[in-house]
Structure 1
C-alpha cells in the first residue's frame, strides 16, 4: 500500500452537511493514534492542546498554521496568527475512534482502521453538520491541507507551504462544492 494513494484525495459530502476526508497513512495504527492525541505530535500537522483520554474531557485546540511548514506561505486576509477552540471528547476507543465537539458544528470523528498489512492505516475524518457553505469551504480546505501535512510528517516528506497550498485548494473546493 502506498501512503500517497489518497494524499491528494478531496473531501466528499457524504450527506448535504457532512464532509468526509480519507488518507492512507504508514502505521502502525498506534503511531497514527499518537499523532491524533499527543499535543506535541498533533501540533506538527493540526493544533496543539492537551487531550486527557476520557469521554467528556475538555480539550483546548490551539492552531498556529504559520508554524506548520517552512516557509508558511502567504496567510489570507482575515486569518489570525493563532486560533483557539474549546472542544470535548464525545467518543473514545483507542486506537480506533476519537470524536470531539467542534465549535457550532456537529463535531468531528477520526476513525483509524488497519489497511492491508500492519503497516498501513486508513484514517477517515468526518465533520458533521457544517450548515453554511462558506464554513463548509473553509472546513473542507482546512482538513484537506492539514491531512496533507500529516501525510508529509508521517512519510518524512517536506509539506508544501501551508497557506499557498490552502489558497489553491480553497479555489478548487469552491468549484467542487454545490451552492
Structure 2
C-alpha cells in the first residue's frame, strides 16, 4: 500500500493505512482525546452530527523534536482547531469541518473498514483551497498517520518535525502539475 496521499479531485486528497485492529481500538484513537492527543490533537469531539470538534494541536506532546522556526509557536502554545461534526457513525465513520485558509473550511472524513485482524483507515480531506494547501495538509496527514501507525503497533513514535519539511517538498512536487 502506498503511504502517500493521492489526489481524488481538485481540492481533495485521500490516505489509506492498514492498521492493527480491532476496529474498536482504532476508533478509540479517533474519538478519545487522550489517545488522539498522542498522534494528532487532543480535545473534545461531541459524539453526534452537529456536535463540536474542538481540537488542540500541541506537537510538543507528540514528539520530542524541536520544530522548524516557522512552527515554533504552534509547537509551544498549541494551535486550536474548531470544527463541527458532520458524520458520526461509531466504529465506521467520523467527519468534521476543518479550518482552512482564510475563512474557508475544509472537511476531513475518517472511515474504518475491518479486514481480518487489521483495520483499513481511509482519511479524506476535501475542499482544500489549492495545491499549496493540499501539499501542506498532505504532509501533515502523512506525518500524523505515521505516528498513529507507530502507536497502534506499539513502536516508538517516528519523528514528526524531522520529516515534515521533506514531506512538504515531496507533496509540492507531486502536486506541481495540478491547477493552482
Match of 1:171 among 169, 172, 179: 169
- Which segments of structure 1 move beyond 3 Å, counting only runs of 4 or more? none
Q: Could you tell me which of 57, 61, 68 is aligned with 1:75? A: 68
**Distance of 2:69 and 2:166 partners within structure 1:** 11
Q: Distance in 2 between matches of 1:27 and 1:73?
A: 32
Higher helix residue share:
2
Query: Which of the residues 18, 32, 36 maps onto 1:38?
Result: 32
The aligned residue for residue 27 of structure 1 is 21
Offset of residue 55 of structure 1: 1.0
Match of 1:102 in 2: 98
User: Which blocks of at least 5 consecutive residues in structure 2 are unaligned?
Assistant: none
SS at match of 1:171: helix
Q: Using the alignment, how far apart are the partners of 2:131 and 2:107 within structure 1?
A: 16
Number of residue pairs the alignment of both structures matches: 170
Which residue number corresponds to residue 49 of structure 1?
43
Q: Which runs of 5+ in 1 are unaligned?
A: 1-5
**Comparing both structures, which one devotes a greater share of its residues to strand?**
2
RMSD of the TM alignment (CA)?
1.4
